[in-house]
């Protein structure tokens, strides 16, 4: 089928082609003028000469009288035969004249394809050739027709290449040609001439591009090819769809848009333009016979994929990706009847809207976590918090000999899971959800209105929809009613205006269950009027239970809660020991929940509240009304199920929720029933749900738990090792080829500064790699640099530029490498001052400095000289947001403090208090909050035997502490060093 030509002009800013191979553009020649003249003569003879000659020789074809019966009685003579023949010739002339008029009208109008004159196949073809030749030098139809060499073909065979030729011919009347070509393509498509595509290709409709080898620091990519030849880099998908899975000259196939190789051939959309395209079967003189043969062979491989290619081309004009959901206001539907125990949780009705292209490849990372942004964000935040706690614990308590050093580097499945968390996490979405819910609670409290009961929340394209149990009036601004009275809706733009609100989390029991058409469902477990049952195979149920437990334990939109796990998840308690607890069996659960149910009923009655929702906005909000959610994976007996159903009958009012697993699918007393299938679908027909379930499979659950347990500084018999994962050669012979200064303002020595706007991006990518010497997954790199998403080819282009910028070592090895797992690593010749700082401290405290006092003092002094301020002190606003997921901001101050303390101790051994004070003050510039530095500074100042100086230091500490007061250990130390310090500080003002 002929391709439609987009009216999009080619980019005027496209870079110059590296190996120009221009498409031959046919210019008007002397031969064209000769053909036009001959065509004019032929038309004059046929249109004027023939009728004049017939009139002069044979006369008018019609008789003077009309007597058909008399004609039939006459004998058939030679005169009769000549008269009939003359009439046929006149008829042929009239038909040809009609063909000329039809072709002339179509050619001059430039719109549509010529109409057919009945029975005039060869005659209309001849008229078309003559009209085209006549108008070749001055009319818009010049490029509508095939060459005169096609005169012997049939009319049907020539109408299809007509469209193809119209799509290719440049010139003065290009706009009209494009309009006509588009109309012709539409007519051909409506006629369903599926055989037209091969014919069109034979007539030169298809254009090809040959992937060029790297030139300097530039590598070809589909994005840049689309930008140069289609005017929009986002149309790279059209090129990808045209060439996907077709055999290339080297025998390989295109499977990912980012993985293209020099020498490959790409079929291009019909509206591609530019100097390095090749049209086939026309041969540009610059193309070698070998390449022409490769292109010819490749062109034949595309016929079988015409259907898919046409489909891709049909949607290519827009230049954008697929659609995503915006929520509109559809028709009204009634709310579920109160007290029925069921609800319709169908998502809000969407409308189509464009979304940015997303990364299409997971590179082996766990898909379950990549598709769970809220769960990933919660786990990542909790993991970072745990690691910081372990760092401070090891620093102040000296646990395991690890003081200020980093936790062990994950490996295997744990490393893959950590990377998946970094890629999949949506901390901004969690922040907006938390602020939106707390803002709603604060607004309702200000209006003295209770919180409505919320069954579920839908997140759709950043907008938040709360599905209420029953209509609750008009929501407070900026919230508004959704598709009916049971939906409250908040647009993302309005949610971004919310600030932190000093109120309790109103709906902490919300937990993600899965997605439906890009909308994510969060079920409010504590609001369900009874038990929620989950049926399906045991391993599938376990994956759902693990996901629910992990998200509830680490989510960012709740304060306090209790999550009781029964029949599974004892290892999951490591994620949040203060929230998660594990019980051995159903009997212990029933005993616990009977007591808590009685206690909560009494507490609500004493407080005068009808439910925990009214209590959460009152004075006792942060203490007594946290939810208790029970996750029971082991199927209870019928008797236990009935007992649980009785307890759950009043659970939603008390803030208690039950999710219970069942293998049979029939659980007595279940209010809402769900089923998880082997294909990962979560079904609940009575609730109107069919979701792609959010899961945490067993292997990934174990890896997540491993990440958390590895943070424990006491996990091994001898404690974790204190050796940094990367040590540099600190001798004179170990001078690096590339040296980056990260501790303080960012500087790079040994590389030229990249030109253009990509310089900041390359610097940021290098900083991320320097902070992770163990390697960085390509998708982690792209998600750090482009948090809102990026396409594969853009990421690969950046990696190629980074590799070119870093260059190669003397042995020819690139300084940016890819390890066996596909992660990006830096060569040892690329070093940062943070690497040197760690290596100097390690060598001073565990290496040569242990046995040599002089070496230790020199190494510690050199280390402290490297400290020029906080990490990446001058980083531009809006960049380096990935640092929020790192613990390096906690590691660096601890490492600097340890270095300052060690150097101060080194000087105090020789009673050089001033030198010790100088070292401690240098460390305080980077670690001003480290209590150990202030305490050692007090001791060193006391060693000077200068009470006034010590009093001034104490006064400065008191002023710095403000209303919080001095830490207990510092206060006790001052009592020892300067017993009258309180009076002295008060006297000093």
The pLDDT tens digits for 770-788 are 999 989 999 999 999 998 8
Kindly list the distances between the CA atom of residue 432 and the CA atoms of 385, 627, 803, in Å, as whole numbers in the listed order.
Answer: 20, 21, 37
In this structure, what token pair is assigned to residue 26? 């046919």
Whose tokens are 């620091």? That residue is 217
Contacts with 732 (C-beta within 8 Å, 6 or more apart), sequence order: none
Q: Where are the alpha helices (DSSP H) in 334-426?
A: 367-370, 373-397, 413-424
pLDDT tens across 168-201, in order?
Answer: 323 323 333 343 344 334 333 443 333 333 433 4
Question: What is the pLDDT averaged over residues 30-51?
Answer: 76
Average pLDDT over the chain reads 77
Question: What is the pLDDT averaged over residues 652-656?
Answer: 87
Give Cα 16 distance to the centre of its chain: 31
Question: What is the pLDDT averaged over residues 158-166?
Answer: 33
Contacts with 235 (C-beta within 8 Å, 6 or more apart), sequence order: 226, 269, 316, 319
Give Cα 70 distance to the centre of its chain: 88
10 Å CB burial of residue 198 (0-12, 13-18, 19+) is middle
Contact of 710 with 407, CB cutoff 8 Å: yes
CA–CA gap between residue 58 and residue 29 (Å, rounded)? 42
Phi/psi at 834 (nearest 5 deg)?
Answer: -70, -40
CA–CA gap between residue 984 and residue 24 (Å, rounded)? 93
CA–CA gap between residue 24 and residue 278 (Å, rounded)? 9
Percent of the chain scoring above 90 in pLDDT: 32
Contact of 432 with 495, CB cutoff 8 Å: yes
In this structure, what token pair is assigned to residue 386? 């745990």
**Residue 881 pLDDT > 60, yes or no?**
yes
The neighbour count for residue 175, using CB atoms within 10 Å, is 11
Which carries the bigger pLDDT value, residue 209 or residue 151? 209
Per-residue DSSP letter, 661: E
Please give the model's pTM, rounded to 2 decimal places.
Answer: 0.63
In this structure, what token pair is assigned to residue 602? 């009494």
At residue 654, the pLDDT reads 87
At residue 166, the pLDDT reads 29
10 Å CB burial of residue 691 (0-12, 13-18, 19+) is buried
At residue 91, the pLDDT reads 78
At residue 504, the pLDDT reads 84
3-state secondary structure of 584: coil
**Residue 471 pLDDT > 60, yes or no?**
yes
CA–CA–CA angle 7, 10, 13 (5° rounding): 150
Whose tokens are 């500064």? That residue is 753
Helix 427-446 and helix 373-397: axis angle, to 10°?
Answer: 100
pLDDT tens across 394-448, in order?
Answer: 766 653 344 445 567 788 888 999 999 999 999 999 999 999 999 999 899 888 8
Contact of 647 with 586, CB cutoff 8 Å: no
In this structure, what token pair is assigned to residue 491? 């647009």
Contact of 258 with 796, CB cutoff 8 Å: yes
Question: What is the pLDDT averaged over residues 565-572?
Answer: 92
Torsion of CA 468, 472, 478, 480, to 10 degrees: 70
pLDDT tens across 908-947, in order?
Answer: 999 999 999 999 999 998 888 888 899 999 999 999 988 8
Question: What is the pLDDT averaged over residues 38-57?
Answer: 77
CA–CA gap between residue 821 and residue 818 (Å, rounded)? 8
CA–CA gap between residue 931 and residue 952 (Å, rounded)? 17
User: In 3D, which of 272, 261, 256, 284 has the Cα closest to residue 210?
Assistant: 261
In this structure, what token pair is assigned to residue 715? 């996990």
CA–CA gap between residue 696 and residue 702 (Å, rounded)? 10
3-state secondary structure of 741: strand
Contact of 146 with 162, CB cutoff 8 Å: yes
Torsion of CA 595, 597, 602, 607, to 10 degrees: 130
In this structure, what token pair is assigned to residue 292? 């022409």
**Residue 7 pLDDT > 60, yes or no?**
no
* DSSP structure string for 435-461: HHHHHHHHHHHHTT-PPPPEEEEEEET
pLDDT tens across 102-111, in order?
Answer: 777 766 654 4
Contact of 661 with 545, CB cutoff 8 Å: yes
**Residue 650 pLDDT > 80, yes or no?**
yes
CA–CA gap between residue 40 and residue 263 (Å, rounded)? 48
pLDDT tens across 953-982, in order?
Answer: 988 888 888 878 888 888 899 888 888 888
Give the per-residue SS3 of 91-132: HHHHHHHHHHHHHHHHHHHCCCCCCCCCCCHHHHHHHHHHHH
Contact of 905 with 937, CB cutoff 8 Å: no
Q: How many separate helices (H) and strands (E) can be counted in the chain?
A: 34, 24
Whose tokens are 């818009």? That residue is 140
CA–CA gap between residue 514 and residue 492 (Å, rounded)? 20
Pairing of strands 580-583, 487-490: unpaired
User: In 3D, which of 229, 220, 226 has the Cα closest to residue 240?
Assistant: 226
3-state secondary structure of 431: helix
pLDDT tens across 684-722, in order?
Answer: 887 888 899 999 999 999 999 999 988 876 654 444 445
Phi/psi at 465 (nearest 5 deg)?
Answer: -120, 120
Give Cα 124 distance to the centre of its chain: 56
**Residue 336 pLDDT > 50, yes or no?**
no
Contacts with 129 (C-beta within 8 Å, 6 or more apart), sequence order: 39, 145, 148, 151
Q: Which residues pair with 468 in a beta bridge?
A: 454
3-state secondary structure of 582: strand
At residue 231, the pLDDT reads 82
Phi/psi at 522 (nearest 5 deg)?
Answer: -115, 120
3-state secondary structure of 814: strand
pLDDT tens across 311-333, in order?
Answer: 333 333 333 333 322 222 223 23
Question: What is the pLDDT averaged over residues 827-838?
Answer: 92
Spell 726-742 as b/e; 16+ CB within 10 A means b: bbbebeeeeebbbbbbb
Structure confidence at residue 46 as a pLDDT band (50, 70, 90)? confident
Per-residue DSSP letter, 28: P
CA–CA gap between residue 768 and residue 986 (Å, rounded)? 48
At residue 146, the pLDDT reads 34
Contact of 313 with 330, CB cutoff 8 Å: no
* DSSP structure string for 478-547: T-EE-SSTTEEEE-HHHHTT----SS--S-TTEEEEEEETTEEEEEEGGGSSSEEEEES-HHHHHHHHHH
User: In 3D, which of 709, 695, 696 has the Cα closest to residue 410?
Assistant: 709
């Amino acid at each position: 089928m002929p391709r439609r030509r987009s009216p999009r002009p080619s980019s005027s800013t496209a870079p110059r082609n590296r190996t120009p191979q221009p498409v031959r553009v046919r210019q008007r020649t002397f031969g064209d003028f000769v053909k036009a003249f001959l065509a004019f003569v032929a038309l004059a003879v046929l249109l004027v000469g023939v009728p004049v000659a017939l009139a002069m020789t044979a006369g008018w074809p019609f008789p003077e009288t009309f007597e058909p019966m008399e004609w039939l009685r006459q004998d058939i003579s030679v005169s009769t035969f000549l008269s009939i023949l003359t009439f046929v010739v006149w008829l042929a002339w009239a038909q040809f004249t009609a063909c000329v008029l039809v072709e002339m009208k179509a050619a001059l109008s430039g719109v549509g394809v010529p109409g057919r004159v009945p029975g005039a196949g060869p005659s209309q073809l001849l008229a078309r050739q003559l009209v085209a030749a006549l108008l070749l030098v001055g009319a818009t139809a010049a490029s509508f027709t095939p060459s005169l060499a096609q005169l012997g073909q049939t009319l049907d065979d020539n109408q299809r290449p007509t469209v193809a030729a119209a799509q290719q011919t440049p010139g003065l009347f290009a706009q009209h040609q494009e309009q006509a070509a588009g109309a012709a393509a539409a007519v051909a498509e409506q006629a369903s001439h599926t055989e037209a595509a091969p014919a069109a290709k034979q007539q030169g409709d298809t254009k090809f591009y040959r992937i060029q080898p790297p030139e300097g620091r530039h590598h070809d990519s589909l994005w840049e090819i689309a930008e140069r030849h289609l005017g929009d880099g986002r149309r790279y998908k059209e090129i990808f769809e045209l060439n996907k899975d077709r055999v290339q000259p080297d025998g390989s196939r295109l499977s990912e848009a980012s993985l293209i190789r020099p020498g490959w051939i790409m079929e291009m959309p019909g509206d591609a333009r530019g100097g390095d395209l090749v049209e086939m079967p026309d041969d540009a003189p610059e193309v070698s016979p070998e390449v022409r043969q490769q292109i010819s062979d490749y062109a034949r491989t595309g016929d079988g994929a015409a259907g898919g290619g046409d489909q891709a081309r049909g949607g290519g004009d827009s230049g954008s990706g697929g659609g995503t959901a915006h929520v509109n206001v559809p028709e009204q539907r009634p709310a579920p009847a109160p007290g029925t125990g069921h609800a319709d949780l169908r998502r809000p009705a969407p409308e189509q809207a464009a979304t940015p292209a997303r990364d299409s490849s997971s590179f082996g990372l766990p898909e379950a976590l990549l598709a769970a942004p809220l769960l990933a964000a919660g786990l990542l935040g909790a993991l970072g918090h745990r690691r910081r706690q372990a760092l401070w614990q090891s620093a102040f308590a000296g646990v395991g000999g690890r003081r200020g050093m980093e936790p062990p580097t994950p490996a295997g499945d744990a490393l893959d899971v950590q990377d998946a968390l970094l890629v999949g996490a949506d901390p901004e979405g969690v922040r907006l959800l938390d602020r939106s819910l707390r803002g709603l609670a604060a607004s309702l409290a200000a209006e003295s209105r209770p919180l409505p009961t919320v069954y579920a929340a839908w997140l759709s394209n950043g907008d938040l929809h709360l599905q209420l149990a029953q209509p609750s009036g008009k929501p407070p601004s900026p919230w508004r009613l959704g598709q009916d009275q049971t939906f409250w809706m908040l647009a993302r733009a309005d949610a971004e205006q919310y600030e932190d609100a000093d109120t309790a989390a109103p709906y902490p029991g919300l937990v993600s269950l899965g997605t439906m058409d890009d909308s994510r469902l969060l079920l409010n477990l504590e609001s369900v009027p009874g038990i929620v049952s989950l049926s399906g195979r045991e391993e599938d149920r376990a994956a759902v239970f693990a996901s629910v437990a992990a998200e509830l334990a680490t989510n960012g939109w709740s304060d306090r809660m209790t999550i009781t796990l029964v029949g599974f998840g004892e290892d999951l308690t490591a994620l949040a020991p203060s929230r998660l607890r594990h019980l051995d069996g159903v009997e212990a659960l029933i005993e616990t929940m009977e007591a808590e149910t009685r206690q909560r009923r009494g507490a609500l009655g004493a407080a005068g509240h009808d439910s925990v929702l009214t209590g959460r906005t009152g004075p006792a909000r942060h203490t007594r009304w946290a939810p208790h959610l029970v996750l029971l994976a082991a199927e209870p007996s019928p008797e236990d199920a009935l007992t649980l159903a009785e307890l759950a009958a009043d659970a939603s009012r008390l803030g208690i929720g039950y999710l219970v697993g069942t293998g049979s699918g029939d659980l007595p007393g279940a209010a809402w029933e769900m089923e998880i299938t082997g294909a990962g679908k979560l079904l609940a027909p009575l609730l109107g749900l069919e979701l792609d379930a959010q899961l945490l499979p067993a292997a990934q659950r174990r890896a997540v738990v491993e990440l958390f347990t590895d943070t424990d500084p006491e996990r091994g018999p001898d404690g974790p090792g204190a050796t940094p994962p990367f040590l540099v050669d600190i001798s004179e012979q170990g001078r690096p080829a590339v040296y980056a200064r990260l501790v303080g303002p960012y500087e790079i020595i040994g590389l030229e500064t990249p030109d253009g706007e990509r310089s900041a991006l390359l610097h940021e990518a290098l900083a991320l790699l320097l902070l992770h010497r163990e390697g960085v997954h390509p998708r982690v790199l792209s998600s750090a640099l482009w948090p809102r998403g990026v396409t594969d080819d853009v990421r690969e282009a950046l990696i190629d530029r980074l590799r070119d910028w870093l260059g190669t070592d003397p042995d020819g090895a690139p300084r940016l490498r890819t390890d066996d797992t596909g992660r990006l690593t830096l060569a040892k010749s690329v070093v940062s001052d943070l690497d040197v700082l760690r290596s100097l401290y390690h060598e001073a405290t565990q290496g040569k400095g242990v046995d040599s006092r002089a070496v230790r003092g020199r190494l510690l002094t050199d280390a402290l000289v490297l400290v020029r301020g906080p990490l990446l002190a001058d980083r531009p606003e809006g960049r380096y947001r990935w640092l929020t997921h790192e613990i390096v901001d906690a590691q660096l101050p601890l490492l600097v403090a340890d270095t300052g303390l060690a150097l101060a101790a080194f000087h105090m051994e020789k009673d050089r208090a001033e030198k010790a004070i100088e070292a401690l003050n240098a460390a305080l510039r980077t670690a001003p909050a480290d209590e150990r530095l202030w305490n050692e500074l007090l001791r060193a100042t006391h060693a000077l035997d200068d009470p006034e100086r010590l009093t001034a230091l104490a006064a400065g500490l008191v002023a710095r502490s403000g209303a919080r007061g001095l830490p207990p250990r510092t206060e006790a130390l001052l009592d020892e060093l300067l017993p009258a310090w309180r009076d002295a500080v008060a006297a000093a003002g």
